[in-house]
Amino acid sequence: DTEVTQTPKHLVMGMTNKKSLKCEQHMGHRAMYWYKQKAKKPPELMFVYSYEKLSINESVPSRFSPECPNSSLLNLHLHALQPEDSALYLCASSQVGGVRAGELFFGEGSRLTVL
């Protein structure tokens, strides 16, 4: 069983839609991440939250808006996306500091298709 839960598993949206991806973890981790992954490619880091504060934004377009309501939840709000934004969006969590910070626990991902 995955300890990082992502919903929805699949999402199809038009370029004018507004939707959100949700992620939840109950491992007590204080760092949470959004990654974007294209087929047969490595994950690309988008955002990092540390202690519920945005600590890294990898120059992601503003049509992606992250939110961390509390230490267990992470959202990714989507608006006016482009077809090239179609990808698998992965949420992950980890402890903060030292080697444990690199031990990411990933969710199964949300597969997004933008029409």
Partner 1 sequence: AQTVTQSQPEMSVQEAETVTLSCTYDTSESDYYLFWYKQPPSRQMILVIRQEAYKQQNATENRFSVNFQKAAKSFSLKISDSQLGDAAMYFCAYKGSSNTGKLIFGQGTTLQVKP
Q: Which of 15, 54 has the CB closer to partner 1?
A: 54
Smallest distance from the beta carbon of 44 to partner 1, in angstroms?
A: 8
Q: Which of 26, 41 has the CB closer to partner 1?
A: 41
CA atoms within 13 A on the CB side of 108: 9
For residue 113, CA distances in Å to 13, 68, 71, 95, 104 come to 6, 23, 28, 31, 25
Smallest distance from the beta carbon of 101 to partner 1, in angstroms?
A: 4
Site track for partner 1 across 30-69, x = CB under 8 A: -x-x------xxxx-x--x-x----xx-------------
Q: Which of the residues 81 through 110 are near partner 1 (CB under 8 A)? A: 90, 92, 94, 96-99, 101-109
Q: Which two tokens stand for residue 91?
A: 């949420």
Cβ atoms of residues 66 and 50 within 8 Å = no
Residue 46 identity:
M
Smallest distance from the beta carbon of 84 to partner 1, in angstroms?
A: 20
Please give the residue ranges that form the binding site for partner 1 (CB under 8 A). 2, 4, 31, 33, 40-43, 45, 48, 50, 55-56, 90, 92, 94, 96-99, 101-109
